[in-house]
Chains A and B, each alone.
Chain A
Amino acid sequence: MLMTLSYLLLAGLTNGSVYGLIALSLSVIYSASRVINFAQGEFVMLGAMSAVLFLVTLALPWPVALVAVIVVSVVVALGLDHGIYRPLVRRKAEPLTIMIGTLAGAIVIYGSAFLIWGPEPRFVPPVLSLAPIRLGFLISNAQQLSLIVLFFGFLALTWFILYRTRFGLSVRATGVDPKVALLMGIRSERIVQFTFIYSAAMSGIAGMMIGPLLGAHVSMGILITVKGFMAAILGGLGSPFAAAAGGLAIGMLEALMAGYGTSLYAEPAIFVLILMVLIVRPYGLLGDYEAERR
């Protein structure tokens, strides 16, 4: 009984780490630019699919492959920033139009990946061993544990950058008011570019690590974006850490529903739950009044 529960919680923690990383990425971009990046999940897909390319097709050792995955994510993120975000902002498009722009970006990334890799799901080779590790009565493996470590590592790194460096101060200032930040000598566009690159690298690495556990598929991106966003609004979109906590919560809930009910109802049930949370607390469980601000 207790064993099933803790086993489910561990599985939930693993999936929750991925959702949490996406929620963190979405929230970091959002807090600097007020834009929801619909293409965020595509970076997870790119991470997983290009890991297959580098690890299997090109047979590179994993540290090289990791760097290559990061390079791919960063290049695509730069494309997103320079091809979609900046031109739209310079044309004074509204946030909603920019959001549709990022969705179009997601469509292009998905379509290109479909052309390259086709519709079949791919097996992503694990970087770390899948051999069972005993933690008390829990059985896990290094790959699974590495995801959880990665999540908390990135959480700490994000906190450090945002709250303990001068650069982080300018990121937060840009989020409060880009125009005033610009007057203070902060290059807002560079800051936004940084958030795009940072989030893309985070999601790309997450994709490479979750690939062996979930399987990789070119159409996996949009569902991950949506779950990451669900996580972010459950916690509170305005704060990266509240959003990340929402990710863990969604992962756990999903695992528990799938374990004790059926996986068919897990997603609808979580969706209804989030709608109810939004009625009671429109700004997320841990969020501030952020959501209503325009």
Chain B
Amino acid sequence: MAHSRHIEAPRAPTLLPVAVFIALGALLPLLLSSGFHVRLAMLIWIYAILCMGFNLLYGFTGQISLGLPAFYAIGAYGFGMLQTMLGFPPLLAFAGTLAIVALLSLLIGLPLLRLRTHYLAMATLAFMLIQNGVANRWIGFTGGQSGIAVPPLEWAGETLGRTEIYYVVLVMASLTLLLHDFLIRSHIGRAMQAIRDDETAAQALGIRVTRYKLRILVVSGVLAGVAGVCFGITSLRVDPSLSEFHVLVSVLTIVVMGGLGTRFGPIVGSVIVVLLPQFLTSFGAFETVIYGVFILVFLLFMPHGLSGLFERRRWSLRRRSSPQADAQAREMRRSAE
């Protein structure tokens, strides 16, 4: 597989970069003065959570769910509705939302994951369009165009301020980042990459292909749900625009630009996609075209994305510096000759 997006994940990487990202995130509110900037930072983390799920599914397992924005929206709607309609406390509503999202991913994945991957891609895209249609038109339940309000988070009777909410989002994002990193480095991550590279070979090695695909699909759905809940608590309002096509475009742009199948691609991509419109005036109308062109250019010329640039170099450096690997490489070269 020549042009593969595949970068072999390091066997025993340090957790240092993860800690650096989290520490940077924790320091960020001290550096940002205006509330608007804190909001942008929250948005970056929310997109990072959403896209880490997508990265696990597409970048590492080679399955595509184009319906993640639907789970993102359902996460936000569910979190709001369970509180306002059924009177759940926030934590219970959070757990309930994740259960709903997991169940939905399971129901969609079960019949589809045995088939070739484009079935999953199209069916999940259909799911997204239907979810959006229902959110728009079932006005009595979802509030239609104007959406529903999400009750603000409270702690000991007081409503949380913007900075506290930022830290709630950061905790979620850090947990997601740790999970993402753990999955990649563990035997699960290696099984995922085996499935991505060759399903038949993976099966021959004793990997239960369908079961793994289904699990990762559910994980990605749940992470999208977490991102949705985070969006709900930051904006206090949910409307159908959460599962519109442009969200999917953003997700694809983030993952492809950041780097498919890389450790930090989703975060790098989120930073760019959230901040880019802030620097370019009159970006609005051109946004879709620009993102589309970005996806194409990166697919063609930089399939490992921005994060792949430095991650790949570091990994190859490490491999070169290890004497054992050196000996192995020499061995292989000799046998090839």
Which A residues have a C-beta under 8 Å from some C-beta of B? 36, 83-84, 87-88, 91-97, 99-101, 103-108, 110-112, 114-115, 219, 222-223, 226, 229-230, 233, 264, 267-268, 271, 274-276, 278-279, 282, 291-294
Contact = CB atoms under 8 A, between A and B. Distances in A.
A222 B291 contact: no
Given A233-B122, A271-B130, A278-B119, A96 B286 contact: no
Contacts of B62: 94, 96
Contacts of A291: 115-116, 119
Contacts, number: 138
Contacts of A104: 252, 292-293, 295-296, 299
Contacts of A230: 122, 126
Given A267-B130, A275-B123, A91 B115 contact: no
A107 B299 contact: no
Interface in B122-148: 122-123, 125-127, 129-130, 133-134, 137-138
A180 B119 CA distance: 27
B111 interface: yes
B292 A271 contact: no
A213 B334 CA distance: 69
A222 B122 CA distance: 11
B296 A101 contact: yes
A83 B5 CA distance: 19
Interface string B303-318: 1000000000000000
B300 A87 contact: yes
A94 B1 contact: yes
15 contacts: A93-B303, A99-B64, A99-B118, A103-B252, A104-B295, A107-B289, A108-B292, A114-B289, A230-B122, A233-B119, A268-B134, A275-B111, A276-B111, A278-B111, A282-B115
B41 interface: no
A264 B252 contact: no
Contacts of B199: 294
Given A92-B2, A93-B299, A222-B245, A36 B118 contact: yes
A293 B119 CA distance: 13
Contact of B4 (A94, A222, A292): A94
Contacts of B200: 294
A101 B110 CA distance: 26
B108 interface: yes
B277 to A, nearest CB: 14
Interface residues of B, number: 51
Interface in B258-298: 285-293, 295-296
Interface centre among A96, A112, A267, A294 (most CB of B within 10 A): A96
A96 B64 contact: yes
Contacts of A88: 3, 299-300
Given A93-B303, A279-B110, 15 more contacts: A84-B296, A95-B118, A103-B66, A107-B291, A108-B293, A110-B288, A115-B285, A115-B286, A226-B126, A264-B133, A264-B138, A267-B130, A271-B127, A282-B114, A291-B119
A94 B6 CA distance: 11
B289 A115 contact: yes
Interface centre among A92, A104, A233 (most CB of B within 10 A): A104
A107 B114 CA distance: 28
B136 to A, nearest CB: 10
Contacts of A112: 289
Nearest to B300: A87
Contacts of A294: 116, 199-200
B100 interface: no
Contacts of A111: 286-292
A74 B5 CA distance: 31
A99 B252 CA distance: 12
Contacts of A36: 118, 121-122
A152 to B, nearest CB: 26
B276 to A, nearest CB: 15
A84 B297 CA distance: 10
A100 B295 contact: yes
Contacts of A274: 123
A291 B116 CA distance: 6
A222 B252 CA distance: 15
- Please list the 6 inter-chain residue pairs (A to B) with the smallest Cβ-Cβ separation, ordered nearest first: A111-B288, A111-B289, A107-B292, A108-B292, A104-B295, A91-B3
B289 A108 contact: yes
A290 B199 CA distance: 17
Contacts of A226: 122, 125-126, 129
